[in-house]
Chains A and B, each alone.
Chain A
Amino acid sequence: MESIKNLLNEIIHCNCETFDERRKLLLPTFLISFAVMAFFYGVVIIPKWGLNHHVTHIHITGSTIVLFGFMASILLSKKFKENPILALPSLAATTAAMIFLTNAEFYSHKNDVWMHYQIMGVIYASFLASIRCNLIIAAINVSTPLILAANYDHLIFTDVVERQGIIYIATMISFYLSWQNTMNRREVYKKYAQADKVAREKADLLETLSSIAIISHTDQDGIITDVNHNFCEISGYERHELIGKDHNVVNSGEHPPEFFQQMWNTLNANMIWTGEMKNISKDGDEFWIYSSIKPKYDAKRNTVGYISIALDVTKRKEIERELDEERTKMIQTSKLATLGEMSSGIAHEINNPLAIVAGSASVIRDYHDDKEKVLAMAEKIEKATSRINKIVKGLKKFSRSAECTTKEIHTLNSIVEESLELTRARAVRHNVDLKIDIIDPVKIECDEVQISQVIVNLISNAIDAVAGEKGAWVAVSMQEDSHITQLIVKDSGDGIGFETLEKIFVPFYTTKEVGKGTGLGLSISKGIVEEHYGDLDYQKLDGHTAFILTLPKYRKIDVA
């Protein structure tokens, strides 16, 4: 009973998604049909006509064709989805049924056997129609001959030919509609197949995404409605612990309210928010996610919730932080190294005038009656203290924090002179001849300390590069044109090797021995110069290593 019910359901609710189910009903369908036919032959046809009568033959042949056409249409129904031509056997079966039925009527002449044929054939044809098409066609197929048959004697069309003509027309209309429907279905199938493909791709995409990403859904108030496995794993919460709560359960407190405000502003503007966020798990472990949050809409584009897809970037963040720390440390070390190296030279520079001051004081004490000597000593003290003063001033500027940059108008010349003051000791120590060729003062707008740092760096590098060579020299010269001024630091070296050249502006690259240099110099210098709209470049001038510092000249902007 259940299977008959199912079968009827199938016939009524015929749709493409149920092909497979229908095929499962093939055997009961076949058995029912066979039972009906066997009953019909055994009880009505054979007792009446006998096995050898042509009516019985027509009966059995026609019924068999119809039954197998019906079976074929069910069996091939899946294939019809792809190719409607395959529906032709079922159409052929219907046609055959109709021909046999109408022929039988001609032969039997007003014998009521034709009615059974007609009813049987039309019911099968309707089955076929219902499988491939819709109930309307089935209804036409069934009702037309039935009405005609039932009211045989009372019909207007009493003539067999007229009546059969109507049945033919009805059948042709059924065929036409059936064919039309099949063709329409074909489009639908195509679309369905396409949609099916898209849906499968989406499902695959989602599955893959879900395996790597941390996904959560919330409603429009930010209350979690669903989370995926990864979310549970990283946060340490169970799924049921999270649903119904908002994301504050994993809030680390790292980000200020403005951070979330900005996030909500983006979302409320119907845009996707992307950013990095530090969260905290149930166990108190911190984790970083790189998250993308998108509003979800209903059909009217009202926001109904949010979806967040995130990746775990904790490791990357850790590495970044370590690198940052390393970098800060390196810069600090470099500063200390430079300062340490410089301080030795500077100590000498200061201690010499100090020695003069101390000596002069002793002389004054010993010869306090000799006015001339006292005066001479006082003069020496003054000179010495001003020397110390100059150095300390330069040092103070050099060591000042680089965080606050203040651009003021200076002459490049004065900065160069100060820088030379700080590097002269180094040149002397390394027996490097420092040649200076400075032009008339050129005004530039700059942070004096930073530019001084760059120049000190360049000169120190040049000195180090040629230190120990015979007849080593470093030439510092200036030149200018209408817009720019250039400082050229050239040394007696014969240029930088090609391989080294590629890397000289790379942070931490150094050719110096361990402990002698940190490699920060040139990369930082270039950065500083570029901040001043200038340029720092290497060139081989007259066969010698030269670094050229280019800075724009200060130009008074006329305010109209």
Chain B
Amino acid sequence: MNSRANLRSPLAGVLNQGAAHAGVHHWWVMRLTAVALAPLCVWLTVSLLILPGTGYTAVSAWVASGVNPVLLALTMLLAAWHSGLGLQAVIEDYVARPLWKTSLLVLSAFVNALLAASGVYAVLRIALRSVA
């Protein structure tokens, strides 16, 4: 920064620039995933309840049939994302010690990313195996 800039207060640098529009990102994605998950949860619950059986063959056939793999993969992905945002809010609000807070935030992000990847991989593997 040059000497002229130093005469300006830090506040003056940001005034009248408008909002960064990044502050509401967490809030917005939480709502977006919630709205998407609402119908998906109803679909998944009803599908699981009317499943003809819980055996390997019946479950594999259900995962692979029609639009099910797409909706299932989407549900896993969005649920893990929504769960990551939720756990983040809980950890930030209730865990005061910085080391614990940071460790738990990292752990939560990693576990939810692992859940999303595992869920999508499992659905794809079952669906593609049935096609082959």
A and B assemble together: no
Q: Taking beta carbons and an 8 Å cutoff, which residues of A are in contact with B?
A: none
